[in-house]
Structure 1
């Protein structure tokens, strides 16, 4: 079911149906800009252009380029200078939400947490009683 939203670009009210995050007028402008960017990238000498270079030449914002890569409208396999920022650290990536480094850090933290839980359970379940001597106090 559609709901009324304000366009984040022009603040116009539009029916949001979950497919487009901007009003029809801004969507048309984005599509026209996409065509300009795509024509620029299709030229052999521009295929490896960086996001900064594409922004400079076409006028498309970096955020819009990131959005198109995220939605797979522009493919980093064809245009190696493209990507979008990792949700955690901001490193340019070409798939997923977080980069490999952040994924590894999260995985290591989870492994340490699980090891701590297992250790606490092992200590709690052990039948050995600990006695303190007068030297331990």
Structure 2
């Protein structure tokens, strides 16, 4: 996946520098990587990595834009790690940590595209400090009914 993404992005813009990491990082290594950025986008399908990202981002107070998709469903939220705001752990406690992967359950590519586009928009809003981002809220997308719902996350 890493090499494929790198090649696709380089074809879109050959003038950008892309640094890839194609290995499982320890939490200390992940923490070092997280500190190099102003906002983190979580596009993983692994609960353990999501939880590690949450801990590292919370430790360094770096906003996390979380997106997930499985089957025909997607969800997006922003975690800012400011006082009285939820963390990814809040979300995990509400819905549980499903170990079902996209490979096992299947995923509709257009849903991934929708989730990724919303994540990109949220990251831009967070970075530019404009608009109202999804901090404290969870956006739920149902591709079968084409409905979008929003849930308030407890702090």
TM-score, length basis structure 2 = 0.25
Structure with bigger strand share is 2
Structure with bigger helix share is 1
